[in-house]
Every structure is written in structure tokens, then in C-alpha cells.
Structure 1
């Protein structure tokens, strides 16, 4: 298309999010416009798709002759972002005349053209006599470092999934270990991004928060104000749980502002094991009690699966999390 004289290329894209993918996109677009000259408008989708199976990271761009002139945010909570750039088409023509492309262009088959009665520029007199219009200058593309990209991607996905599903919030079985603690911090990161969006004047974000919390006049001043309304953590203690993991879970939830509960699952685990013992006439034991590796694994899985079932049921009562008779806080 460039060899056939096309000066402005518009790419309406839906490129899914992937760690460090923005670098690849930029390299491809820059190389093609640097080699052939031209204006490239890359308009990428943003947010999650209809069923929340795929996420798009936005970061739309306008480039001219390999130079980035404008860029939208990556992993934004805004449903739509508009970016603009003021460009002189003569720059494209001058650039193309300075590189070795004329022979190649002349050898290309004629590209199909459709004549349209439209203009992409201001009227000539407005351009010549305007004291406001200025050509856009090259900018440095903002590329998030890997940790920030992971943080912002998780925040955007969690928030948009929550608002799309019209759910009351998130429930997490918090063990005091690294994995569940990381997930808890992702939710706290979501709250920080939501608060920043609200403070930046995004009325839709505030409206969505009020809708899912059921508080039409809600105002928030810190991330914890959001977390305590949308996040319920639960420490599910068993026979061999230690005070150290219980303390870690409690201290983490206190710092991020989550609603926290502490329950004991020994009763459900014991009843489950009774069923297995009656069916097989055999009582599995932990390895430290003399059991085999298979018995040890089975015993741990019984606890994990019971925690999963309890988490599913408890999450159904998220709306009642502030009722001390249902979920006594600790």
C-alpha cells in the first residue's frame, strides 16, 4: 500500500494483551513506516471482551515516518480513549522522495482506489492563519516495566470482570502463604487503580463502584475504603495449621483493609474421612504418623478440596459479610 502511494494507514486492531508485547508491536509499526514513510494510526481495543475470556491492553498509537507522535494509556479503565496528532502530509512526501523506493513503487500493480468526498484536514485558510495549530512532536513511547505491566493488567482485568459480572466482590481463602497473599495484593492493586481513576475524574468508574456496592452516594479517599467493601478473606484452619500462617493472614488483611474471617474446617475434614474409612475399611495417615506418600498426599487433598467447597459457599453470601452472626471478624 505504501509503495502505491497510500499516505495514511489506519489499523483498527484487537490485539490481545501479552507480557512485553507492546515492544513487538512498536518494532513492527516503526520499521514499516521508517522503511516506506507514511502515517500509521494503530487503534487497539482496550479492556476485556464480552465473556471476559480475553483482555486487550489498548496503547493505541499514531506514528509518522517511524516516529511516535501520540500514545494512549496501556491497561486503562476508560471504555474509550481518544488521541490526536497534527501532521503535515508534506513530511511524508518529502521523506519518501529521500529514500530509494520510487523504482519499487513504479513496479507495483495498481492498488484499487475508491474516491470519497471527505477531508482529513482543516480547511487551508484555518491552517495558514491559525496561531494555535502546531505540528505534533515526537514523544518517547511509554513502555511499562514487566512488574508494572503485570500489576496494571491484573488490576484492569479484576475490575472489569467484577463490573461486567455485576458481582458483589471477591472472596479468597487466605492461607498465609505466598500464593494467596499475592492474589490478595492484586485485589489491593485493583483498588489503587480504581481510586486513581476516580481521582482523575473518571465518572464511569465511580458510578460502577457505587453500583456494585449498592451505595449511591459513596465517596472513597483511600484504597482500603474500596477493599473493605469488595474483598472478603478467610483463614481456614485445620488440625496442623500454625499460628504463624494465621498471624500472617490477619496482618495482611489488616494492612490492605479487607474483611477477614477465621474458621476451622476440622469437622468437615473428619466427616469426609469417615466416609472414606467406612467405604474402604482403611484409615489414611499423614507421613509423619507413619503413612505412605500416597496417603499423605490424599490427606492434604481432602483438606484442600474441603476448603474449595467452603469458599464456593461462603462467596455466595458475600453481601452479608458485615453480619457478625454469619462471619465473625477476628
Structure 2
């Protein structure tokens, strides 16, 4: 009959330092896993304190509170009959480790510290934690006295070991360890581990999910085994959005997948898997030879494997523990078996859908947890602020969908309803419910009512995203004499279509007041270049308008709720894309300075594709006008001979900027290296001298504007070449901006390429 077991993994919307909320979500996930009939539950990385505590991990309080939460979980009946894999920091021998705590029946089985830490890109785990480098070794860890009173244990195993139940062996792998070349699952699998757990805090990045899925599939394709991947979900209080998508794989095939973007605080994915399938998959003799001799865990000095220490767990993961004391005859009539989960096709979102969903979920978490009353954006009539507004509209769509979803059926009833037919006499086959979650509907209703200023006891249920947008989203067109009727019209139409509360104003009176003050003090009146002014005058006049928009945005964001008879304030949204930030094509402290920016890590190219997608998917035909409009800042007077255009101002196209950005950050190219790369790519259609000119212009503009990136609005991280100065891209902000040595080497190479010896 095989050896079927039911296992569960989950995504939790944890929040750094929200110990009460985090504990509640953990308990809910365990309850849902039990409801699915699981004997194993896996949660995300550092789920008890939240992953994004950063320097708070250096505070003893964070470690203490984590133990206090764990003690409360152990004191409850949550872990009765189910092996739970929980995450928290642990201080062992005065060294802090990122750990998994395996608990069962109110006792701690094992503490497994992370061995390979994420320490690049967005991650700085080695700032807080030390990797456990003693492969295959364990210590005795003395638990805090208040925990000992709960679990009755003075010390527990700490280190690199595996857990052995009555019928299988379970090994732990943490996040980054899956991505390393010599992942722990290889040695564990050769040593007989059949179930691997991976607890992660893996952030969303456009087009990233495929790599994650392929690594999980590959982990068990050659090796055989069951792999449970859990992930954080939501905004943990920072720029990153953790995109959930818990997965279960068996022998290289995905059998269960959760949603990648969701407003759910708790989502549990379960599968029924057969241990005999793993054992059959491992029947190859070559695998057996490696397991017996070459690998299978740490080695003794003579090169022979001694295997992992096995920590016993008094639980049978499979069906027999359900039998109790029933007689065989009764069992034949009452036995309930679960159908084994079958391989599924993994669901991937397109990049356009990712932009619609990821930043929208991030914005929802931010506004509900910041206890503010919504968002405000200066809507210029251009594609960047348009994309930002449409992402807010997407957020409103998700909120309405959650508020109007059907009440979720009881999990047990749902499981029975999903079951197949009868098997042998008296034996029923049930399908494991693939996704269970808490009542998202009520949670979202409570949040949107509070944000919209509804009084306690309100029964308001929004029916359209426009209804939500009108209550919590304010757009404002801030025109000047340099603005066009086209941009004003596009902004007004977009606001009407998405339902935002829209303000249309001219700020010329404020601009003139600033200029009058300057003239009074200096007796000089600056002029635009089209009126004969210098480059300095022209730039100053543009910057006055740009910076005034930031001042007005914050004033209106603070006072519009009061004007509308409400209370509180709005968060100001920025709308500078990743390419403009990289190039420095923005005014420091202009309306790109805001509270948060959902598109600050997204390229102009991807934003255009997103707008084209949203035009049809969200039924917003006005977006076609934004797509066909020439990008312009509208900070200079429009004449018959001159209309300001972004790409002309920058001296490069947005597509070129994306290429420069990826080569600089992802390809790790300096000026000379970038020139050589582009020479191979662009050489057939572009002269070397022209390529050199473009590369030198990019690096010059990047370097001289680098100081602007130190003040960028905190932005949703979505792109691998984000110039976010605060954590992702650490660079100087005072450069030798003309790069004399590097540019000279480029020029020398150009000369060689253009030199043709005479015959």
C-alpha cells in the first residue's frame, strides 16, 4: 500500500519585531497544517522575530523575546502530534546564529544553525550572524531556564544533524544553502535523508521565480527525496517584498505550489507524498555506491563516511499513527487514505503581471501597517507617475477582490469534498487540500475600513476598485505655464478612470513669488535658454518648479484628509524609475523625493510593457495615450522650434540605460570593461568611436550625479541593477567623474580599432 505521509509548508506575512502578530500567524499555520492531516509543518526563515530586524539582531532583547515566544508556543498544544520547523536567532557560546528549531510534542528536538549565509546583494547576514562551520558536529545547548520549565529539557542538540522519526529521516536546509554549489541536501540525501526542509526569506525580483523553482526541482531530481520550501511573504518593514510561493517537490517534480503574490497573512500548502516513491527513485546502484563510500556526510580522517548524527523523534509520519488501537477488521471498514499528490505545472507570472502584483501587495502592507490614510501622488501626465498610479489601482483591485471573495469553506469539509471515490470496501480516498489560509476577507475588510476612516461597526464593503481609490488615493496635477494641455488632459482622464480623488492646480503664482524674492535680493532675473539665458539659469528655473512640487505634495498630503472631513495624513509616492535614478536624471529633493516609491526599482522598458498590459487587463484605454506620448519633464517653455524631451536631454535612450545598468551592476563592468562588452554586441551596427562616446557619457553622468542616489526615496526592489545606495549598491558618491585613466584606455583601443595599415 506504500508509505504515504502528508506534509505542509507555508508562507507567512511576518513583520520585523511584531512578536505578538508573528506568533499568532505561526500558530494559525500550525493549526491549518494539522487540519490538512500533516505530521510536518515548515515555516519561513527567522519567522519568530521577522527576517528584516537588521541591527536589532544585535540587541539581546531580540533573542530574548524570540525565546519567550517559543516558550509560549511550546506551552500550548500547538506542537502536539506534529513536527514543527520554526525559525529564530540563537546565542550559543556568545555567538549569534540564524537557526531552525525543530519541536514536537512540546519539546525541542534539535537546533540547526545556518551554515552558509546570504551576504551579498540585499543581504548582510554576516553583519549579525556567524555561520556554523563544523560540518556534521553538534554541541549541547543549554536552554534558558524559563524554557526549561515549559519543556522539561536542560539541554538540546545544537549543530549539523538530522532528525530520525520511526519511518523516515528529515534534514534541514536554510535559504542560501540551496543556492550554494555544494548544498547540504546532497550529503544528507546520500546519508539517507528522505525529507528536506528549506526555510527562506527570498525577495521578489522580476523574472526570479524560475531560478528558484528549478533549483528546488534539481535538488531531488538526481538525488530523490521530498523537498518542502517555505518563504516569507509581504513587506517585512523594508524595501523588499517577499513573494511567498511555498512549494513541495518530489523526485524532481513540483506537486504543490502556493500563490506568489497574495494579501493572505497565512497560507499553508500541503501534499500527500509516498516515501516508497523516494526509495524507488534511489534504486540506482551508482547512487548507492556514492552513498556507501564517497559521500553521505562528514568523513573520518581515513576518508570513510561516518554519516550525520541522527536525533530521534518519537513520531511516525505516515498513516499508521492514525490507526490507534482499532482492530484490523474495523480498520478495513474505517480506514481513510489520502490520494498521493500528482505533479503539477508550475504557475509563472509574466513580468508585467509581476509589476502589477508585487508592488501593489507591498503598498498594501505599507499603508495598513503605517496606520496612515492612503497615498498621494503628483500626477504629471507622463508614463512614470501614470505607472505608479496604476499600481495603486491594482492594489485597490486586490483589496476589492479580497473583500468580496466567497466565505472560505471549512477545511475538513473542503478536503472531503475534494476527495475521489471509494477504493476497497470501507476505504475512502481523500485529496489533500492544496492551499489553506486564514480568513483573509475579514482581515482586509477591517484594514480598508480603518484606512478609509469608517467608524467602528461599519458594514461598508467596497464593490469596485474605483470606490476604494476615491477613499484612500489622491492624485494632483501641478501645472505651470510650461505644462501642456495634453499632459493635463491625460492626468485628469486617468484619475477619472481609476477613481482617485483628483486635484488640478497651477503653481505659477508660487514660482513667481520665488523668482520675485530672488530678484529683490540680487537685482538679477534668471531666464530660460530659449529666452537667451545661460545653462545655469535654465537649470535653476527648472529646479525651482521641480522642488516646489515636492513641497506642495507634502502639504496637500497632510491636509487633504482634513479638507475632506477626515483625519490623519497620506503617504507621498515617488515615481522616478530605476534608469532615471541610475543616470541621475532627476532633481535632488524634487517630487521624486517621497515616502516610498513603488517603481524605483523598475526599468522604463518594463514600465512601458506594464502599461500596455494594464491597458487591456484593467480596462483603461486612456493608457494608450501615455504609451504614445514623448517623455518630457515640461520644465522649460515650449516653442515652435523646441519641445523638451527626456531622451534628448539625457543623451541616451531608456533601452540603452537598461543595458548600461545591467553591465555596471550585474556584469560588474567598469568603463573599459563595458566598452569591450558593447563592442562585441553593438560593433556590427555602430562605430567603435560612437560606442566609446556613449559609454563615457553614461559613466560621466552617473558619477557626477551619484550624490543624488544617497537621497533616493526608499523603493520597491524589483530589478537586479537597482542603484539603491542604502543597501543594495554600495559605491562612493564623490568620483573622478571624467575617469581620465579609464577613458584614455578606451580611446587608445578605439584608435587601434580604427587604424588600418597602408598596403
Q: TM-score, normalised by structure 1?
A: 0.93
Task: Please list every run of at least 4 consecutive aligned residues from structure 1 whose deviation after the TM superposition is greater than 4 angstroms.
Answer: 124-129
Do the aligned partners of 2:403 and 2:461 also contact (CA within 8 Å) in 1? no
The answer to whether the aligner puts 1:32 opposite 2:219 as a matched pair is yes
1:113 paired to 2:299: no
Number of the residue aligned with 1:178? 383
Contact 2:373–2:452 under 8 Å retained in 1 = yes
Following the alignment from structure 1 to structure 2, what is the Cα–Cα distance between the partners of residues 272 and 125? Answer: 79
* 8 Å CA contact 1:168, 1:318 repeated in 2: no
Determine if the alignment matches structure 1 residue 57 to structure 2 residue 254. Answer: no
* Residue in 1 that maps onto 2:574: none
Aligned residues: 322
SS in 2 for 1:261: strand
| Structure 2 match to 1:161 | 366
Residue 550 (structure 2) aligns with: 308
More helix by share: 1
**Matching residue of 2:525:** 283
Aligned equivalent of 1:20: 207
Q: Please give the secondary structure, in 2, of the residue aligned with 1:161.
A: helix
SS in 1 for 2:482: coil
Matching of residue 257 in structure 1 with residue 503 in structure 2: no
Please report the RMSD computed on the Cα atoms of aligned residues, expressed in angstroms: 1.8
**Structure 1 residue 251: Cα displacement:** 0.9
Give 1:212's aligned residue: 451
* 1:245 positional shift: 1.6
Indicate the residue corresponding to 2:320 in structure 1: 123
The equivalent of 1:136 in structure 2 is: 341
Q: Which runs of 5+ in 2 are unaligned?
A: 1-187, 296-304, 324-330, 408-440, 566-759
CA offsets 1:150-187 (integer angstroms, 9 cap, x no match): 11101101111110111101001111121111111111
1:321 is displaced (CA, Å) by 4.8
SS of match in other structure, 1:123? helix
Residue 230 of structure 1 and its aligned partner are, at CA, apart by 0.8
Residues 232 and 321 of structure 1 are in contact (CA less than 8 Å); yes or no, is this contact kept in structure 2? no
SS at match of 2:189: coil
Question: Take 2:563 and 2:252, find their aligned partners in 1: how far apart are those partners?
Answer: 54
User: In structure 2, what is the Cα distance between the partners aligned to 1:199 and 1:106?
Assistant: 57
Q: Is the deviation greater in 196-205 or in 301-310?
A: 196-205
Residue 9, structure 1, aligned to residue 248, structure 2: no
Distance 1:74 1:321 in 2: 39
Q: Does 1:243 align with 2:448?
A: no
Corresponding residue to 1:145 among 350, 359, 363: 350
* Cα drift, residue 231 of structure 1: 0.6
Query: 1:174-202: per-residue Cα shift (whole Å, max 9, x none)?
Result: 11121111111111111111111222242
Secondary structure, aligned partner of 2:319: coil
Q: Which residue of 1 aligns with 2:280?
A: 94
Which of 258, 265, 269 matches 1:72? 258
CA contact (8 A) 1:52 1:161 kept: no
Mark the CA change 1:53 to 1:119 in structure 2 (over 3 Å): closer, same or farther: farther
Higher relative contact order (CA 8 A, sep 6+): 1
In the alignment, is the contact (CA less than 8 A) between 1:19 and 1:146 conserved in 2? yes
The offset of 1:264, in angstroms, is 1.8
Per-residue deviation, residues 65-103 of structure 1 (Å, max 9, x unmatched): 011010110111101101110011000011011363111
Structure 2 Cα separation of the partners of residues 91 and 204 of structure 1: 40
Cα offset, 1:120, TM superposition:
2.5
Give the Cα separation in 1 of the matches to 2:217 and 2:313. Answer: 28
Equivalent position SS for 2:451: helix
| Aligned counterparts of 2:204 and 2:528: Cα–Cα separation in 1 | 43
What's the CA shift for 1:117?
1.1
1:45 corresponds to 2:242: no
* Corresponding position of 1:84: 270
Give the secondary structure class of the aligned counterpart of 1:81. Answer: strand
> Per the alignment, do residues 321 and 250 of structure 1 end up closer, same or farther by CA in structure 2, a change over 3 Å counting?
farther
Indicate the residue corresponding to 1:328 in structure 2. none
Distance change (3 Å), C-alpha of 1:182 and 1:4: same
Closer/same/farther in 2, CA of residues 255 and 99 from structure 1, 3 Å limit: farther
- Structure 2: distance between partners of 1:195 and 1:62: 30
Q: Are the structure 2 counterparts of residues 99 and 308 from structure 1 closer, same or farther at C-alpha, using a change threshold of 3 Å?
A: farther
Distance 1:229-1:125 versus aligned 2 partners, 3 A rule: closer
Residues 108-117 or 83-92, more deviating: 108-117
Q: Please give the per-residue CA displacement for 1:243-288, whole angstroms capped at 9, x wherever unaligned.
A: 2221111111111111011122112111222333344432111122
Q: C-alpha displacement at 1:123, in angstroms?
A: 2.3
2: distance between equivalents of 1:99 and 1:145?
Answer: 42
CA contact (8 A) 1:171 1:318 kept: no
Say which SS state the counterpart of residue 338 (structure 2) adopts: coil
SS at match of 2:272: coil
